[in-house]
Chain A
Amino acid sequence: EAGVAQSPRYKIIEKRQSVAFWCNPISGHATLYWYQQILGQGPKLLIQFQNNGVVDDSQLPKDRFSAERLKGVDSTLKIQPAKLEDSAVYLCASSLGTSGAGEQYFGPGTRLTVT
């Protein structure tokens, strides 16, 4: 089966610009996650969707980050305006259900550099 797809793989922008990332989860997976992985750290959950509803966005900086999952399938994560500290790899993951025991499948990530 096809894995989690993400694009673009790399993006370089200047601070105060905007950027958007796209994720297509594994077919049939109800739950979709966006993680931020800063260099030298583990991934940190930004937002979790179940179908097209938000389950957890407690760590999403809502003044500049937004995400949507229209029709409960693919998703976009947007940053506007970007700051230097947003430089990171943005990982998308999906899982079949919402149980804590469920395996999450990760995409290759988008590496964002803010200059």
Chain B
Amino acid sequence: AQSVTQPDIHITVSEGASLELRCNYSYGATPYLFWYVQSPGQGLQLLLKYFSGDTLVQGIKGFEAEFKRSQSSFNLRKPSVHWSDAAEYFCAVGAGTASKLTFGTGTRLQVTL
């Protein structure tokens, strides 16, 4: 069975600083990997996804993520954080033809001005 680990529960960064959120997954084959963002009182919005091909994936709102098979990681990055990026971020893994997603426990991002 697949699993996802997000080791950072809470991260605080200053506006304008760079950001990296960590995600490690466990899955026997090539996974489908996703990053979702959840603002308070809102549903989850897809930031980006990786299926195959180029290991550096670009998403919405200036986010990118890099798939590293050797490290079983799919870390999310942004070069310059905006105050509106404050939210909870979830990494998820999907498996093959079944569309069931397994989510990590999330990382709460706080942005200081």
Contact = CB atoms under 8 A, between A and B. Distances in A.
Given A40-B105, A41-B105, A42-B105, A104 B99 contact: yes
Contacts, number: 66
B45 interface: yes
A42 B99 contact: no
A113 to B, nearest CB: 14
A31 interface: yes
A90 B99 CA distance: 18
A97 B97 CA distance: 10
A107 B101 contact: no
Nearest to B92: A42
A103 interface: yes
Interface of A: 3-4, 31, 40-45, 48, 55-56, 91, 93, 95, 97-109
B94 A44 contact: no
A100 B32 contact: yes
Given A91-B44, A100-B96, A42 B32 contact: no
A93 B43 CA distance: 9
B49 A103 contact: yes
Contacts of A102: 99
Interface in B63-101: 90, 92, 94-101
B104 A42 contact: yes
B99 A100 contact: yes
Given A100-B99, A101-B32, A102-B99, A108 B43 contact: yes
B42 A108 contact: yes
B103 A99 contact: no
16 contacts: A3-B43, A4-B43, A40-B106, A42-B106, A43-B44, A43-B90, A43-B103, A44-B103, A56-B98, A91-B43, A99-B97, A99-B99, A100-B94, A100-B96, A103-B49, A107-B43
Given A40-B105, A55-B98, 15 more contacts: A40-B106, A42-B103, A42-B104, A42-B106, A43-B44, A45-B100, A93-B44, A98-B97, A99-B97, A100-B96, A100-B100, A104-B46, A105-B46, A106-B45, A107-B43
